């Protein structure tokens, strides 16, 4: 039986381990922190899955493949950690990302409903409409319960006899598919997958100029009583105002309402504490308040930071480093939805087709028929 090493136990590392295990590999996952890793970007209440991707037709198309991969994972886990909510996108003007998304969706056969500011107010009374120049609603799309997914997937892999090894990697030898850990031990395999998130550029020098760690803040809120019912049935919100924009995740499956920044800070270090300062939280709230009706009545439940690994064009880096090693990086905050799909593709081993497809440049997912 061939063996594989996977560095990192976020959604990408665990998905790669899942794909490799299904493909017949004996897998060891190396993680510097507990699993699930509380410092990992994957270990949060939610992540979003949506087709709207501006002009990025490749990623819009990949979302359908991603849904199929999630269905395969749900079957393995015996539980679904996805809540369909739909998507509401609003923008200051007709042009730009919203119009490009609408055109790409139409070209690929996905329906969306255009809304005026008045239409938004009628459907979603908890939202203010100041500055809305364009909007659309799409029934497809939903919330992935990220922290629950990572925990369940780790437990599933342990049940498949995937080994988990606690240790901090200090050196990588891609040609030999080997890792050296801080305790001096060296581990070698037939296949090595590097999925170390914002820590990856420290180990892979070629990533240092291509991927930037980015400190991102999210704030959790409790809506006032008058708006709780509306939020419980609300779609995810993508607010693309010229002032900066934010996203909001409705309070589904016992989770709180969450707001976060669309922008990348491109600052900080992945080793920094994950507590958010009052000033960081206030910066996010300042973006959201104009869109929240009765904003002053919302109660702040907490705020925290995570770190994304950002590629300048927001294209995923899934590339071979020599024959036996693949690096997975640059997921820029939107990669979680593709985790199981990318894990299956990495396990299939078609490196030539993998790189361009993962970068959103089109083509079909380079998958082998999934094992039974």
- What is the value of pTM for the model shown? 0.96
> What are 76's two structure tokens?
């393995």
Q: pLDDT tier at 336 (50, 70, 90 boundaries)?
A: very high
Q: What is the mean pLDDT of the chain?
A: 95
Three-state SS at 58? helix
Give the up-direction half-sphere exposure of residue 272: CA atoms within 13 A in the CB hemisphere: 19
371 pLDDT exceeds 90? Answer: no
314 pLDDT exceeds 90? Answer: yes
Calculated CA dihedral for residues 12, 160, 22, 196, nearest 10 degrees: 20
241 pLDDT exceeds 80? Answer: no
The pLDDT value given to residue 352 = 81
Average pLDDT over residues 116-126: 97
Buried b (16+ CB within 10 A) or exposed e, 292-331: bbeeeebeeeebbbbbbbbbeebbbbbbebeebbbbbbbb
372 pLDDT exceeds 70? Answer: no
Name the one residue in this structure whose structure tokens are 């008045």. 118
The pLDDT value given to residue 262 = 87
| 47, 85 contact by CB (below 8 A) | no
CA distance 242 to 131: 9
Q: pLDDT tier at 5 (50, 70, 90 boundaries)?
A: very high
**Non-local CB neighbours of 269 within 8 Å, separated by 6+ positions:** 213
Percent of the chain residues topping a pLDDT of 90: 89
Average pLDDT over residues 234-242: 91
| 51, 63 contact by CB (below 8 A) | yes
> Is 75 exposed, middle or buried (CB count within 10 Å of its CB: 0-12, 13-18, 19+)?
exposed
Task: Return the number of other C-beta atoms located less than 10 Å from residue 286's C-beta.
Answer: 12
Average pLDDT over residues 168-182: 96
Three-state SS at 327? strand
* Residue-wise pLDDT tens digits, 8-33: 999 999 999 999 999 999 999 999 99
Domain ranges within the chain, ordered by starting residue: 3-48+146-211+313-358, 87-139+213-306
351 pLDDT exceeds 90? Answer: no
* Residue-wise pLDDT tens digits, 209-230: 899 999 999 999 999 999 999 9
137 pLDDT exceeds 60? Answer: yes
| 330, 244 contact by CB (below 8 A) | no
The DSSP code for 144 is E
The pLDDT value given to residue 6 = 98
Average pLDDT over residues 90-108: 94
The pLDDT value given to residue 205 = 86
Average pLDDT over residues 97-125: 96
CATH classification (class only), 87-139+213-306: alpha beta
Q: The domain 3-48+146-211+313-358 is classified under which CATH number: 3.50.50.60, 3.40.50.720, 1.20.1440.230, 2.170.120.40? A: 3.50.50.60
Average pLDDT over residues 274-281: 96
Angle between helix 146-159 and helix 57-77 axes, rounded to 10 deg: 50
The pLDDT value given to residue 369 = 66
The pLDDT value given to residue 326 = 96
* Residue-wise pLDDT tens digits, 25-73: 999 999 999 999 889 888 899 999 999 999 999 999 999 999 999 999 9
């Amino acid at each position: 039986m061939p063996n594989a090493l996977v560095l990192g136990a976020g959604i990408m590392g665990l998905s790669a381990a899942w794909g490799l295990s299904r493909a017949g590999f004996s897998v060891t996952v190396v993680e510097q922190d507990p699993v699930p890793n509380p410092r990992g970007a994957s270990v949060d209440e939610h992540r979003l899955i949506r087709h709207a991707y501006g002009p990025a037709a490749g990623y819009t198309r990949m979302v359908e493949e991603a849904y199929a991969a999630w269905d395969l994972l749900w079957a393995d886990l015996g539980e679904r950690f996805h809540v369909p909510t739909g998507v509401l996108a609003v923008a200051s003007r007709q042009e730009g990302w919203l119009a490009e998304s609408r055109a790409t969706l139409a070209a690929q056969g996905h329906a969306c409903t255009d809304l005026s500011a008045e239409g938004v107010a009628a459907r979603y009374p908890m939202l203010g409409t100041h500055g809305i120049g364009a909007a659309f609603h799409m029934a497809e799309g939903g919330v992935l319960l990220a922290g629950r997914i990572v925990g369940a997937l780790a437990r599933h892999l342990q049940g498949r006899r995937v080994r988990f090894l606690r240790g901090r990697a200090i050196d990588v030898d891609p040609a030999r598919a080997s890792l050296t850990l801080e305790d001096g031990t060296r581990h070698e395999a037939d296949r090595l997958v590097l999925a170390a998130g914002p820590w990856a550029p420290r180990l892979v020098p070629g990533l240092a100029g291509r991927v930037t760690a980015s400190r991102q803040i999210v704030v959790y809120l409790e809506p006032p009583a008058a708006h709780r019912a509306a939020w419980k049935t609300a779609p995810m919100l993508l607010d693309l105002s010229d002032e900066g924009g934010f996203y909001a995740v409705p309070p589904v499956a016992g989770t709180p309402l969450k707001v976060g920044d669309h922008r990348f800070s491109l600052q900080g270090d992945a080793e920094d504490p994950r507590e958010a300062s009052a000033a960081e939280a206030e910066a996010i709230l300042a973006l959201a308040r104009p869109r929240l009706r009765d904003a002053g009545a919302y109660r702040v439940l907490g705020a925290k930071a995570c770190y994304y690994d950002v590629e300048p064009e927001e294209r995923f880096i899934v590339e071979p480093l020599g024959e036996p090693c693949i690096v997975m990086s640059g997921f820029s905050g939107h990669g979680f939805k593709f985790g199981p799909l990318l894990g299956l593709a990495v396990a299939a081993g078609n490196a030539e087709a993998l790189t361009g497809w993962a970068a959103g440049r089109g083509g079909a997912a380079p998958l082998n028929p999934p094992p039974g």
